[in-house]
Structure 1
């Protein structure tokens, strides 16, 4: 699901109260093609086996839950006063979510009891997954996650978060507003200009178009987003997400099992986003 890309990309609007775990990283630009998402074996497996035809209603449900959390935590139903809410609404518009549905979710934001959860999972071969969940029934959701782990060889275990860094992620089209392509070299120059730390090139699962993900320190997210927008780039999403610090290579057998687990997780309507450190 990218809502993976929709919501890896949706990436990442998960809870402000977790930001205190971060420091302010240095602005180092990484240009190694080997590290770029979308160009390794795992990304191709995810692309082939991932749920490319996710029902629109399922996507809208996840976005509605993100809106409710943003309203509750931001303390305002006005996107001009609530930056997290504004980010989610932008993502809603990118997938053509009806205006009435957006407004309904905003109005229910402070009335529906919803919990945000983060599960840390270890799988065969030593890889780690972080599973972001928004649910109105934590007990039921915990049972469902454990069932998926039991079926696909995963294990809920603390410590997996240490394999990731919390970052700001701004996803843009690989073409500017005039339709001209943006090369990776050009994107790296733009990253330096706007204050981003890294750029990753990735293929969007739903329409197989390429996109660019600008990675930045959490406090710089709004600045990077606005500067990229002012430079004429077509924004697809922006928010917070997890970027792996180290990656793990898997055997074909473990890769297949991991792909099946990812499919099962993303088919669950309360799972908003799944992050992994698989190379």
Structure 2
């Protein structure tokens, strides 16, 4: 039992040592500290599998495209309708294309922004099942309606509005890339670490969406484009680059709470004004 309890710590020490060895091998290039924690990553992967279970594909695609249209409107409001001069918009359009959103729908969302000038962006803080933290991005033309709808969903599904959830997240640049190389083989951990260091990322972890496994490279918000360009130059197939809220403090949930959290986040995402939901959830470590 004592050895079983030590395994997660020993795995973390081994990976930390590999990170340090790789960092010393690249001392000629100044980089931000890099870290990857396998025990957390394992729990994160299990959570990714739970929350990425979707309903009918047509309904899921429809919801996804609706959220993309909201993201486009927000990007246009912030920086204009020309993606050549609005990098935020260019990033969103790229995400839309990666998910095969029709070109006509993208253009309609851009042109329709002027008609939705009354929309206001808000960020709600909430507590979820098992003491987890949630950040809920909203774009709405009726803040009262949105607040009431979100409060109702939280209250009926083991959550509540709360202050302080934001402290469990950091605003970061995130570059998603294929976790497979050109030969369809999974990129080994050591190689992922090397790529992160060479590209100037701070962190790398394995994750997945509903379609495939991915590598998530995390960096400073000011470095997201240079990191992406560096990864592409290194032969990595990047999927998207964006600014996101990345958890810095994780909440470990039991299987029962994972299911409750998955249902809560699904309902929040289905709410008409919700743009995106961030969480700090990972699966509880299994003990022998």
Q: TM-score range by the shorter chain?
A: 0.7 to 0.9
TM-score normalised by L of structure 2: 0.80
After superposition, residues 103-252 of structure 1 pair within 5 angstroms as 103-113=107-117, 114-177=119-182, 179=184, 181-205=186-210, 207=211, 209-252=212-255
**2:83 alignment counterpart:** 79
After superposition, residues 38-77 of structure 1 pair within 5 angstroms as 39-48=44-53, 50-51=54-55, 53=57, 54-74=59-79, 76-77=80-81
Give the C-alpha shift of residue 37 in structure 1: 6.2
Structure 1 unaligned regions, length at least 5: 1-25
Q: From the superposition, tell whether residues 60 and 43 of structure 1 become closer, same or farther in structure 2 (CA, over 3 Å).
A: closer
Instruction: Give the alignment's Cα RMSD to 1 decimal.
Output: 2.1
Whole-Å separation in 2 of the counterparts to 1:188 and 1:237: 19
Whole-Å separation in 1 of the counterparts to 2:101 and 2:258: 34
Give the C-alpha shift of residue 64 in structure 1: 1.1
Aligned pairs, how many?
250
Q: Is the 8 A contact 1:37 1:202 kept in 2?
A: no
**1:34 alignment counterpart:** 39
Q: Equivalent of 1:90, from 87, 91, 94?
A: 94
**1:261 is aligned to 2:261:** no
3-state DSSP of counterpart to 1:45? helix
3-state DSSP of counterpart to 1:175? coil
Structure 2 unaligned regions, length at least 5: 1-30, 283-288
Give the C-alpha shift of residue 47 in structure 1: 3.6
Whole-Å separation in 1 of the counterparts to 2:186 and 2:50: 26
Q: Is the 8 A contact 1:38 1:202 kept in 2?
A: no
TM-score normalised by L of structure 1: 0.82
Whole-Å separation in 2 of the counterparts to 1:46 and 1:100: 30
3-state DSSP of counterpart to 1:55? helix
Larger helix percent? 2
Compare relative contact order (CA 8 Å, sep 6+) and give the higher one, 1 or 2: 1
